[in-house]
Amino acid sequence: MLVFLAWLGYNLQNSPSDFFQIFLIGLTQGSVYALVALGYTLVYGILQLINFAHGDVFALTGLFASTLIVSHFDLNSGDAVTTIILGLGATFLICMTFGAIVNSSIEFLAYKRLRSAPRLAVLITAVGMSFIVQNISLAVFGVNFRSVPPLISSNDVFTIGGVHYGWEALFVVLVTAPVLAVLSWLVKSTRHGKAMRATAQDPEASAMMGINVNRTITFTFALAGALAGIGAVLFLVEFNIRYDTGFELGLIAFTAAVLGGIGNLTGAVLGAIIIGMIQAFNEGPFLWAPGSDWTRSIVFAILIAILVFRPEGLLGERTPEGG
């Protein structure tokens, strides 16, 4: 840890502009991870289930979004700003709905029947569902990477001392921040949110209090799917997406959720931003940075280290499984 901080400090002193540039990249990347990580953490909070299929729902929604943007709305980088904003807005709405429907139908088809089954049976089912969703993406969208034309201008919003802040990065933040605010309001202040928190604490007692536990679980899955939908569109605007993109990204996002303390919403966002930073710094132009070949190894090494030394994560509570 100290070595890592020293390394960061050394890089800060050596090339401050690179450092802040990478910092911003990390923040942007972390925001996308946060949206996916929240899906893991929401579902885990309520069912204690690692929904392996979540990453693949993300990929499926992203591929769906690419079809929407390219074929249906026919958006191009040359279009007027209002057209792009309207088109993207519609894409976001449709993809949220799509992700919500896919995720809650997975719950309906597979997990619902296993409510009283052993926990690991459901976990194994989740792995199976992940493969199924991945193959649905493969069957519908083929093996090739999909991308969309650069819709968001890559020009800078502002530049401070050699640090460029581009519209792309601002776009991600402009979308993510309100979404997180709405989510926080939803969970903290609405009846649905209250039902979710109650079910997470004690499903049986909540059922006795008149909460429809099944509907609450479906709602949680839908919410997670909608968040994955937003994340997928944000990801698609900047990167390519393919049927198996979701698996790796899902694992990284899951690591973020564990890092923050699984089941804890603020923790998931914090963990995602930290993981985004780690990835950005690892791949950045720094001395001794291991490079993108090793990103996955580093992320998983972090995952293992957290689970072994602090299974409750940064902000989570201690659980019996953590021992």
Q: Which residues bind other proteins (CB under 8 A)?
A: 47-50, 110, 112-125, 127-132, 134-136, 138-139, 203-204, 207-208, 210-214, 247, 251, 254, 258, 293-294, 296-297, 300-301, 303-304, 307-308, 311, 320-323
Smallest gap from Cβ 262 to other proteins, in A, equals 10
Residue 163 belongs to what H/E stretch? strand 163-166
CB–CB of 195/206 below 8 Å?
A: yes
Smallest gap from Cβ 272 to other proteins, in A, equals 17
Return d(Cα 89, Cα 219) in angstroms, integer. 23
Smallest gap from Cβ 219 to other proteins, in A, equals 14
CB–CB of 43/49 below 8 Å?
A: yes
Smallest gap from Cβ 32 to other proteins, in A, equals 20
Is residue 26 packed enough to be buried (19+ CB in 10 Å), middle (13-18) or exposed (0-12)? buried
Query: Nearer to other proteins by C-beta: 17 or 319?
Result: 319
Q: Give CA separation, 190 vs 185, 187, 197, in Å.
A: 7, 6, 11
Six-digit token string for 78: 């040359």
Tell me the residue type at 113.
R
Tell me the residue type at 302.
I
Query: Nearer to other proteins by C-beta: 4 or 294?
Result: 294
Smallest gap from Cβ 129 to other proteins, in A, equals 6
Query: Nearer to other proteins by C-beta: 116 or 155?
Result: 116
Query: Nearer to other proteins by C-beta: 72 or 113?
Result: 113
Query: Nearer to other proteins by C-beta: 4 or 300?
Result: 300
Smallest gap from Cβ 125 to other proteins, in A, equals 4
Angle, CA 52 vertex, CA 51 and CA 54 arms, to 5°: 75
Query: Nearer to other proteins by C-beta: 6 or 301?
Result: 301
Smallest gap from Cβ 21 to other proteins, in A, equals 26
Return d(Cα 303, Cα 143) in angstroms, integer. 29
Query: Nearer to other proteins by C-beta: 27 or 207?
Result: 207
Q: Give CA separation, 139 vs 96, 97, 250, 260, in Å.
A: 22, 21, 20, 35
Check the CA dihedral 130-136-138-141 and report its sign.
negative
